Amino acid sequence: MNIKKLLTVGVLVCCSFAIFLGAAPSKAVFAADVNLAGKSAYLMDYNSGEVLFSKNENDKLPVASIVKLMTILLTLENLDSGKLNLEDVVVASHNAAGMGGSQVFIDEGGSYTIGDMLKSAIVSSANDASVVLAETIAGSESAFVDLMNKRAEELGLSGTHYTNCTGLPAANQFSTAKDVAKLLKEVTKHDTYHKYSTIWIDKLMHKEGRESELVNTNKLIRYFNGCDGGKTGSTTEAGYCLAATAKRGDLRLVGVVLGAANGKDRFAQTSDLLNYGFANFTNKKVVNSADEITNEIKVLSGKAKSVKVASREDIYLLTKKGEDKGYTVKTEMPGSIKAPVKQGDTAGKIYVIKNDIVVAEQDIVCLTDINKATIADNIMNAIENWSIAR
């Protein structure tokens, strides 16, 4: 279904401009008159988290293989921490090799790299490869499911519960369109993910030269401009589901459709969501984390007298095309902090304000370590100050 009727986007004001009085900053929430046939849908700006469209976004529904996004995330996080390496070789268990549904037909007792199993899970939504990853990380699928639910709680996915690592039909396994969007956003942060998520066709080599063809289940990777990630899912109980992310310029969107009637509809409806977002919104980087904030913070009792600071992350401003893009940037920092100071320590807040509303915020962090001054340092400082005073 095409999104043809675009209504004026309203901004819901949740709090007044009172950041320096300690009031919690609000976010402008966009809404659109979009009619999609899927049971649930969600469109979100990746950088700000602004909601551009939602339909039954908190309904708890089966999501089929979209469950694998959490399996993929935990694998990526284990790679980042150094607990796993892409080149690590693992042996497929009887349990993993016997998984039904979508699979790459791994051999029981066969040796595979973590990279190949992760690629198989991301590209081909392979149940057998997903179980290999789960058993490698936690020892068993059931223990891995405990990690999945713990991570979901940490990410604030309050409408999600996992029973297995594959998304095969199981009791008490569900998620929401909103939670799926937040989870895909988390997965998208990892560069290793995009190494595999953008593959269209590849192959998995087995022992004795046997090959399994890998074809990306997310057709938007090939056919939608800017799409570089996502996850499909389909079972009788879940219907046809899709979560996808796409980037054009500085604007990255995350779209989710759950419970579509067929595979064609899920791709069409998710494309409509993303097209609506790109047609009507723009994103501008208004704070660059690579730029130092002009004001330094004085350091008390430190080896250095001040510390340079910057925003912890980039800040983007999402606006509807044609709207006034005027904004101001404000900082809130103490006049001084005490040594010792560690790189990355929070030292204040930076706010982006539009129409007297805080639309984005980020921590201000210290850029260097500053140790506490020693007695010798204090003596030298006293001598320097005495010399200047003369």
Which active-site residues does the annotation give?
A: 65, 68, 125
Q: In whole angstroms, what is the distance from residue 233 CA to residue 65 CA?
A: 4
Q: Which residues contact 257 (CB under 8 A, 6 or more apart)?
A: 36, 38, 40, 41, 177, 241, 242, 266, 269, 270, 273
Question: What residues are paired with 28 via a beta bridge?
Answer: none
Question: What residues are paired with 365 via a beta bridge?
Answer: 310, 346
Bond before 334 cis per omega within 30 degrees: no
SS3 letters across 318-387: EEECCCCCCCEEEEECCCEEECCECCCCEEEEEEEEECCEEEEEEEEEECCCECECCHHHHHHHHHHHHH
Closest listed residue to residue 38, CA positions, set 180, 156, 171: 180
Q: In whole angstroms, what is the distance from residue 130 CA to residue 109 CA?
A: 16
List Cα–Cα distances, 10 to 15, 28, 29, 316, in angstroms.
15, 8, 8, 19
Question: What residues are paired with 111 via a beta bridge?
Answer: 91
Element spanning 128, H or E: helix 127-138
Give the distance, in angstroms, between the CA of residue 46 and the centroid of all CA atoms in the same chain: 7
Q: In whole angstroms, what is the distance from residue 308 CA to residue 343 CA?
A: 10
Q: In whole angstroms, what is the distance from residue 194 CA to residue 218 CA?
A: 13
The distance between the two most distant Cα atoms of the chain, rounded to a whole number of Å, is 86
Contact 296, 307 (CB under 8 A): yes
